[in-house]
A and B are shown apart, each in its own frame.
Chain A
């Protein structure tokens, strides 16, 4: 697993913008109101660049990516544009969008076990890509699949192509998923938590494959993750999202070493450092992400922010994303400039022992948190919550990114680091 160590390679300032998302607002209509999953997101991706979108579950990072490809039928995009090579995909016809999917923009999903079809061979599923977009026949398409499996480092690719997903190990499956995504040499790869569902030991291998592939086919990557450790080794630029909005944007170095948003600081401080043998305390971000139907007033992060001034501007005014340093380092915090003096280290040394006391004082909600749940619905899950609390003392929120598959897993999936879960 990559650690927070060296700054990434010098940013490739490509001017050749492939994808430009402008003012995107999208939500899921529900009985209780619209879940505003994406609330004003803008970013560019240039050819060959790696952009990381970071945040907890519910921050809108996955929905942003899904809306680029239009993969969420229930999602309603209300505002903004998604410009792909100069053409707005939102107004383009379904025909055109379909041509883009897979061929120009391909996607790598989080859980390769459920993302691959259990009743078709891996080879066939990869071959299908070449068949749709390049009109290859059965044989040549299968040949291509074998070639791709070889490219992502799967031994005996010909034999493997004839096997089914359940016969692959977790890491192998994700390699196959990558092989499928790169079959048509897309210009952009969107990788949604590509390593989260994997065993820790194979995460690094899969990331290596991803980096290698990027150089091989020279595509841009949007890497969606909650794990800043993954970001450090791979990304050129980072966008941190919270409650459907970007809260900080900048180069990877800026995000890691000149952090200007309390949420980003919180993410960094809660990250274990394997290279650091000292016994520094990890600093959790307390509480859980806000409801996306009724967001907190002012800054959406203020109820969880250790620097929030309440009463004050944090509670009343919604901060805008503004330039805070350098030529492209943006943050949405009223006190971004003051944060220049705060580092992860100072944050950690500042709390250490006090951390536990602080946690104990917290009003941890006794019910399972469900975005969009009405108060009365909470009552329904109350008994579940109590038993869960007995079972997992201290676990406040249990986000389940891929629910357990319907078929047995043939290797330990490891404790899936639940998206954004903050455990003491």
Chain B
């Protein structure tokens, strides 16, 4: 029997040396099949539809909003009306416009922070899983140390010291969010590294780097994609929490969490100030969770 290049089977599409989640997302064959299964999941489709709308709204925010984010009117804390669909806030700004512009903040922070944590997590997890031995032990211990500090507390601590801005929040989320990712990648590696085709590649004298990037990583991609999708939602959730605790972006920035915190004492007089930005957080996070769940089921029908 002739020996088939195992790489041909394992890595259908070549993958760059510094993979990003989007790039890896392309690396799976049979996309049509995944899409067919994904489409059958109603919740996931609903989530996807919402996200598409949200992205469009964020991109074209100036076109779909009647007011600017700093524009003030004479009405303070007014409830929803024809002029102000979501009402106005304590200084007379249009809540609807601010919520729409807020999508830009949330999506930007959520996606960039997740990309950062994916890169860190994949590199660290891959190193731990591939090299094993002392490298694995060291990295696992390091992750344990980070996990020993409750996530929100750690994020709050770092944000306090670095000061308040969008970039700080991205850094904080990126550097605190990679642990779960690295564990997933590590687990994939551990389960894959001893499989026959990897051993075959090793026996054929392929370099470790080549084996790692061409043969193992593409197989660890699925859980990473699924996790990353859900992680964007989690990042948005944490960003909202940091904003709510006043360690996120500062006032004129229409961060949803910050808007909720600004409505804090006004629950009985102006509940719309809390519920519209709050609802935006919930729907967005939920959409990412549903899409992530749908992706997982579509990518791995055996799990269902």
Assess A/B contact in the complex (Cβ within 8 A).
yes
List the interface of chain A (C-beta within 8 A of B).
376, 379-380, 383, 386-387, 390-393
Question: Known: A387-B6, A390-B6. Is A379-B197 also a contact (CB below 8 A)?
Answer: no
In B171-212, the 8 Å CB interface with A consists of 195-197, 200
Q: Are B197 and A390 in contact (CB under 8 A)?
A: yes
> Given A383-B29, A387-B10, 12 more contacts at CB 8 Å?
A376-B33, A380-B30, A380-B33, A386-B4, A386-B9, A387-B195, A387-B196, A387-B197, A390-B4, A390-B6, A391-B197, A392-B196
Residues of A within 8 A of B9 (CB): 383, 386-387, 390
In Å, the complex CA distance between A386 and B3 comes to 11
In Å, the complex CA distance between A391 and B9 comes to 12
Residues of A within 8 A of B195 (CB): 387, 391
A302 nearest CB across to chain B (Å): 29
Interface of A is mostly: helix
Q: Are B301 and A390 in contact (CB under 8 A)?
A: no
13 A-B contact pairs sorted by A residue (CB < 8 Å): A376-B33, A379-B30, A383-B29, A387-B6, A387-B9, A387-B196, A390-B6, A390-B9, A390-B196, A390-B197, A391-B196, A392-B196, A393-B1
B147: interface (CB < 8 Å): no
> Quick one: closest A residue to B4, CB to CB?
A390
B63 nearest CB across to chain A (Å): 42
B34 nearest CB across to chain A (Å): 9
Choose among B1, B12, B200 the residue that contacts A383 (Cβ–Cβ < 8 A). Answer: B12
Question: Known: A380-B30, A380-B301, A383-B29. Is A390-B12 also a contact (CB below 8 A)?
Answer: no
Residues of A within 8 A of B301 (CB): 380
> Quick one: closest A residue to B196, CB to CB?
A391
> Per-position contact with A for B102-114: 1 when CB-CB < 8 Å, else 0?
0000000000000
- Chain B interface extent, by class: 10 to 19
In Å, the complex CA distance between A272 and B6 comes to 34
Residues of A within 8 A of B10 (CB): 383, 387
Q: Are A390 and B3 in contact (CB under 8 A)?
A: yes
Residues of B within 8 A of A392 (CB): 196
Of A379, A387, A391, A393, chain B has the most CB atoms within 10 Å of the CB of: A387
In Å, the complex CA distance between A179 and B195 comes to 39
In B5-34, the 8 Å CB interface with A consists of 6, 9-10, 12, 29-30, 33
A224 nearest CB across to chain B (Å): 27
In Å, the complex CA distance between A243 and B195 comes to 33
Residues of A within 8 A of B12 (CB): 383
> Quick one: closest B residue to A385, CB to CB?
B9
In Å, the complex CA distance between A312 and B301 comes to 41
B199 nearest CB across to chain A (Å): 9
> Quick one: closest B residue to A376, CB to CB?
B33
In Å, the complex CA distance between A312 and B195 comes to 47
In Å, the complex CA distance between A351 and B115 comes to 62
A39 nearest CB across to chain B (Å): 27
Q: Are A390 and B200 in contact (CB under 8 A)?
A: yes
In Å, the complex CA distance between A386 and B6 comes to 9
In Å, the complex CA distance between A13 and B80 comes to 90
Residues of A within 8 A of B33 (CB): 376, 379-380
Residues of A within 8 A of B30 (CB): 379-380
> Quick one: closest B residue to A393, CB to CB?
B1
Residues of A within 8 A of B29 (CB): 383
Residues of B within 8 A of A380 (CB): 30, 33, 301
Return the 5 tightest CB-CB contacts between A and B, nearest first: A391-B196, A386-B9, A387-B197, A387-B9, A393-B1
In Å, the complex CA distance between A180 and B196 comes to 40
B150 nearest CB across to chain A (Å): 30
> Quick one: closest A residue to B1, CB to CB?
A393
In Å, the complex CA distance between A387 and B195 comes to 10
In B273-304, the 8 Å CB interface with A consists of 301
In Å, the complex CA distance between A387 and B4 comes to 9
B253 nearest CB across to chain A (Å): 46
In Å, the complex CA distance between A393 and B197 comes to 12
In Å, the complex CA distance between A391 and B195 comes to 9
B71 nearest CB across to chain A (Å): 53
Residues of B within 8 A of A376 (CB): 33
A370 nearest CB across to chain B (Å): 11
In Å, the complex CA distance between A393 and B9 comes to 15
B113 nearest CB across to chain A (Å): 33
Residues of B within 8 A of A393 (CB): 1
Of A376, A380, A390, chain B has the most CB atoms within 10 Å of the CB of: A390
> Quick one: closest A residue to B197, CB to CB?
A387
A373 nearest CB across to chain B (Å): 11
> Quick one: closest A residue to B37, CB to CB?
A380
In Å, the complex CA distance between A383 and B7 comes to 11
A386 nearest CB across to chain B (Å): 4
Of A376, A383, A392, chain B has the most CB atoms within 10 Å of the CB of: A383
Residues of A within 8 A of B1 (CB): 393
In Å, the complex CA distance between A326 and B4 comes to 55
> Per-position contact with A for B48-85: 1 when CB-CB < 8 Å, else 0?
00000000000000000000000000000000000000
